[in-house]
Structure formats: structure tokens, C-alpha cells
Amino acid sequence: MARYTGPKNRLARREGVDLGLKTPGSKAHASLLRRLNLPPGQHGPKGKRKPSDYALQLREKQKARRMYGLLERQFRNYYKQAMKVKGNTGDALIKQLEMRLDNILYRLGLAPTRAAARQFVTHGHTLVNNQKMSFPSYQVQIDDVVTLKPKGLEIPAVKKLLADKTTTTANWLERKGPVGKVLRKPERSEVASDINEQLIVEYYSR
């Protein structure tokens, strides 16, 4: 499957927010935070014109897409699915993204970034209800139990996360040691992400 393989710091600097693409506490993450307010490119900012409504909507869509590591076609499909759900389309979109298996691993603190979580899944390290699952896009269901295989638990980054006793888990998830469980779907207020989903809805509604 095609995916972005360029510099991740460039994506975050383009959106002006930390997209969670670098491991917290690493030198690369510290470097990103220092340069986050500087747009990518060697010539610096190109003017300070007020962005149009379309530009704001586009940037919000790109920010969310890059935060969850999705291609445009994948992200658009999630939006189409969210439109079929009764209620607020933006809320439904965020819930679908949060229930992806790679995101669940990340939210449980079993992976330092979503990109790392995606790699753990595709490399066959992840178990859902004791069955190997190798699709990062898999929609985890309520009461599903998620963990890593013994080999996956030996990955240095995972061992470091499990040893960190300060890690907290969202109210809609439960983790005991290396084993996590989905208690329910998240409420929008419980998803700590700098995303204005209404702008995304407006972008695709043009």
C-alpha cells in the first residue's frame, strides 16, 4: 500500500501543530517543537495574507489525515461512511478514526506513535481477542481485547512504555499490563486532538 515516506517534521511544520509523528522525549521530537512555528522550506514564510475559507478547510483536513497517517482516498472513505451514521457527521468521523487498531494501540500506550503502532500491526505483532490481526485499519469493537505477541513486547520502545508508571489511559479504554480492552466508543470530548472536524465536513460538502 502506498504511504508517505518523506520527512515527518515537514508535515507537522506545515500544519503548525505536533501531529504525534515523533516519539515524545526523543531528540527529533525536541527539534520539531523548537521549529514548529516555522513553515517548511528554506525561504521561510511567503506572505501573511488571510487564508480563505477553502484554505482553512483544506488545512484542517490535511492535518487530520496526516495525524492518523492516511492517504486521501482512505480518509475520504471514512468521511463517506460517517455520512451514513445518524447524528453529527464530524463526531462519527472522529470515532471511526479513533477505533482503528493502530490508533487503539497508540492510545493504550503500547506504541510510541501511530506510525509505530501501524508497523507493529503490519509486522504481525498484534493480537485482537487472541487472534493475529495484521490490518491497521481494522475497526476494533467494544469489549475487544488488544495486546502484543511476546516478541512484540520485547521491542525496546514497547518495554520502555510499559515500564513508565505515569502513563494514563483514556476513560473509554482499560489497560492491565500489556493487555488493553475497549470499554466503549469515545465521546468527542474525550479525544484529545487539535482537530476542528466541522471544517473537514465543510471541505467535503463543497
Q: Which tens digits make up the pLDDT trace of 42-82?
A: 555 555 678 899 999 999 999 999 999 999 999 999 999 99
Are 78 and 116 part of one and the same domain? no
Q: Are 89 and 135 in contact (CB under 8 A)?
A: no
In a domain, 108, yes or no: yes
Could you give the strand order of the β-sheet that contains 173-176, starting from the edge strand earlier in sequence? 131-132, 126-128, 145-148, 179-182, 173-176
pLDDT greater than 80 at residue 140:
yes
Residue 40 domain boundaries: 8-87
Domain with 162 in it: what CATH number? 3.10.290.10
Are 34 and 108 part of one and the same domain? no
pLDDT greater than 60 at residue 15:
no
Are 179 and 145 part of one and the same domain? yes
Per-residue pLDDT, 27: 54
Q: Considering its fold, how many domains does the chain have in total?
A: 2
- Spatial separation of the C-alpha atoms in residues 7 and 55, rounded to whole Å: 23
Instruction: Report H helices in the chain.
Output: 8-15, 27-35, 53-67, 72-83, 89-98, 101-107, 114-122, 150-153, 156-163, 197-204
Are 65 and 23 part of one and the same domain? yes
The residue behind cell 527539534 is 31
